[in-house]
Structure 1
């Protein structure tokens, strides 16, 4: 059977479209490729963005900002040593972009100028660390992307 150029063109287009549809269906149904939205309440969060900018500016005005480092026990956040740690209040939020179920938030309860996030809570991969804290009526914000 002889195939003319028109039939060959149609067969080629059908095969190409089938190839693309296979990958679209595979990615949309496979749980391995499941990614959550960045945030559920995007527009609500956008309204308070100016406060976030101000809080980051306050953090940048500090002589020493929060630092984070990986230790054997977990992720260690170190607050500025020149501040009285007992007056620091706020929350620590760890956000996992690839899996919403792993996100967690803890209130700041400092017994020194250091806060340890235990190794058991952190699965290997990328995390966004967000520390919203207040000291003597002034709000601060620390954001850092870490790969644990």
Structure 2
């Protein structure tokens, strides 16, 4: 004799399966790590116009900042018009994959070149956000750098 399950039990089984699936998804999502781009994004949003103006100042220069990585250092080369200028600022290494890899490093230039030891950084992809000031003007440039290779 074949036992038949009525349609009411089938609907109840389908509903219970759906509820169990939703519970599993909620529990898994609660254990997922979520990093914000910035911990204080609201204050940064209010100051964003200054960053736009600094980016326009950067665009008006004869050349962009040159960035490359060799075996030991990340080399940042500033345009030639700042050859004898004092350059102040910082480089923010933003790692989209993991907030623990983010670094803020002050600029220390010699002959328009700033060398940052690779030992301070992880082997990952970074978005460099360079803020600097020279001759009383602020500048900003953003570029990608892949150190995973």
State the TM-score, normalized to the length of structure 1. Answer: 0.85
Instruction: Please tell me the root mean square deviation across aligned C-alpha atoms, in Å.
Output: 1.9
Larger radius of gyration: 2
Per-residue deviation, 1:135? 1.2
Residue from 10, 16, 26 that aligns with 1:8: 10
Per-residue deviation, 1:10? 2.4
Structure 2 unaligned spans of 5+: none
- Which whole-Å deviations, capped at 9, do the CAs of 1:92-135 have from their partners, x for residues lacking one? 11122343333221221111222222222221223221111111
Secondary structure of 1:56 counterpart:
helix
Q: Is the 8 A contact 1:58 1:139 kept in 2?
A: yes
Aligned 1:75-114 pairs, distance under 5 A: 75-84=74-83, 86-114=85-113
Structure 1 unaligned spans of 5+: none
Change in CA separation of 1:14 and 1:85 when aligned onto 2, cut-off 3 Å? farther
**Structure 1 segments of 4+ aligned residues over 6 angstroms from their partners:** none
Change in CA separation of 1:6 and 1:100 when aligned onto 2, cut-off 3 Å? same
Instruction: Give the count of matched residue pairs.
Output: 145
Change in CA separation of 1:38 and 1:13 when aligned onto 2, cut-off 3 Å? same
